[in-house]
Amino acid sequence: MKTTLYWDRWDIVTAHYAYYNDWHSGQNSPEYARLCRIRRYFKPNPYWDGYDSLTENGEAIYDELVAFNQG
């Protein structure tokens, strides 16, 4: 079953952070540059565990990012 995406700033930021953290291709990549820009205002706590820490909506946003950018 596919989750219906809805607009939530927190979910968007955390999903993008997790995506760019998982899928950047090195420090000279545009994805890494975006990750660094997100880190200016998003500082995850030590218990944050990437994809596993996302809400259901955040996971759906992440999955859409992967599908759009990798496929």
pLDDT, tens digit (0-9, with 9 covering 90-100), for 2-16: 678 889 999 999 999
Kindly state whether residue 2 falls inside one of the protein's structural domains: no
Q: How confident is the model at residue 1 (pLDDT cuts 50, 70, 90)?
A: low
Q: Percent of the chain, pLDDT > 70? A: 96
* C-alpha to C-alpha distance for 12 and 60, rounded to whole angstroms: 10
Its domain, for residue 19, covers 9-70
pLDDT given at position 5: 86
Q: How confident is the model at residue 27 (pLDDT cuts 50, 70, 90)?
A: very high
Kindly state whether residue 3 falls inside one of the protein's structural domains: no
Kindly state whether residue 39 falls inside one of the protein's structural domains: yes
What confidence tens digit (pLDDT) does each residue in 14-26 have? Answer: 999 999 999 999 9
Q: What are the distances in angstroms from CA 17 to CA 1, 49, 51?
A: 24, 11, 9
- For the entire predicted model, the pTM comes to 0.90
Count how many domains the chain has: 1
